[in-house]
Homo-oligomer: A and B are copies of this chain.
Amino acid sequence: MVNDTRQLNRMAVLTELLRIRPASRKQLAAASGISAATVTRAVEQLIAEGVVVEASELVSVQRGRRAVLLDVVADRAFVVGIDLGASNTRMLLADLVGTPIARRELVTPVEADAAHLAEWLASAAREIAGERWQRVAGLRLGLPGAVGRDGSTISNAPNLPQVEASGFLELVRAAADRPVGADNDANLALLGEQHFGAARAAPTAVMVTIGAGLGAGIAIDGRILRGARGVVGEFGQLPAGPLGTRLELMVTGPGIMRLAAEAGVRLDSPADLFATDASEPVRALRAHFDQAMLIVLTAATVSCEPEVIVLGGGIAKSLARDLGRYETVLEHHLGAAPRLLASELGDFAGATGAVVAALHEVYRGMGIDERAFGDLPVATADEPEPEPADRPR
């Protein structure tokens, strides 16, 4: 049969359980629209497979038989989400339902060649997983560059050129002996913010990361938009200034310093541009910066009309108190503006998103319908922030 009803129903039950975990059979039947009899049988099989367990019974508050709560066996599988940055690398170990187990922040061995970098990544992943390594189902890598739609062609990573080496992912895969996927880091950061951060409940959202460079991720209806060659979100390439200067050269840290130097203004760091007590020439520079930012935000809005634009990266931190103002101007120009929010996950947004992407890969392997990924895993109210690592360094 092309359409295996049995499998479909079993996965519908599992999906619902992941969503409203923990839940009784009856709840699952109601939520999924499947009959109680079928849910019983599906759960029976899921328990036999070891994917689901009967958890403690609900304390009874009403008459009648107590419902038996079911839950996913969260420690059945783990994933490692890795944000491989040009200077720092963040790693997050999480279980099957997205609960963060451990985090690491490491200095990227930028001098290492592709092979050594791959080795290093694999051993760091082994280290963070510890004795759980056997159960690690896959790694996900966020890279500071463009990743093609096939998920293996990597290009445009000037800050970490090793990863462009053909076969780099293959090396990691071999070294870790696990499935390894890759994505652009801005995309993953957005995915992270959508599932556990500022863009919660915003299936259509954009994340703009401004730091040493300008990157952006776009998600539409809970699905990350990944172009064939990773050009999506390259708003930094838009011509802005008079001579067609690219936005990237006006809005990023290095760009700000360069413009200041050209204008004969002395800035100790890009952050000085945003001081409230800035001098007149700095304010003039600031006006230019704001104009450039508005182009970025307009382009982002107009590209997909996101409900939320999340701003992340070093420069964005200085913009926190300007978001309302930007929002007003956007609203005025376009008639409708998305909410502008600062990143909630900060430096770990990318790694968090990598965890989500890795989990989606695992879910796909289990047979769960991709259309349910938009709200899986669901952020549990009490753990938006990962618990501190058991052994940070």
B-binding residues in A (CB < 8 A): 1-3, 5, 8-9, 12, 32-34, 155-156, 218, 220, 225, 227-235, 237-239, 242, 244, 291, 294-295, 298-299, 301-305, 307, 333-336
Contacts and interface: CB of A to CB of B under 8 A. Distances in A.
Given A218-B304, A220-B220, A238 B295 contact: yes
Contact of A228 (B12, B33, B235, B307): B307
Contacts of A5: 1, 3, 5
Contact of A334 (B2, B33, B231, B295): B231
A215 to B, nearest CB: 11
Contact of A239 (B220, B229, B234, B298): B298
Nearest to A12: B2
* Copies of this chain per assembly: 2
A336 B3 contact: no
Given A5-B5, A9-B3, A220-B220, A231 B336 contact: yes
Contact of A227 (B8, B33, B228, B305): B305
Q: Which 8 A-B pairs have the closest CB atoms?
A: A227-B305, A303-B303, A229-B336, A231-B305, A232-B305, A2-B33, A234-B302, A299-B299
17 contacts: A1-B5, A2-B34, A3-B5, A155-B335, A218-B304, A220-B220, A227-B304, A227-B305, A228-B307, A229-B305, A231-B335, A232-B303, A237-B333, A238-B295, A238-B299, A239-B295, A299-B299
Contacts of A231: 301-302, 305, 334-336
A237 B238 CA distance: 14
Given A239-B291, A298-B237, A232 B2 contact: no
A231 B8 CA distance: 38
Given A232-B304, A242-B242, 6 more contacts: A228-B336, A229-B305, A231-B335, A233-B302, A238-B299, A304-B304
Contacts of A333: 237
Given A2-B33, A5-B5, A12-B2, A235 B302 contact: yes
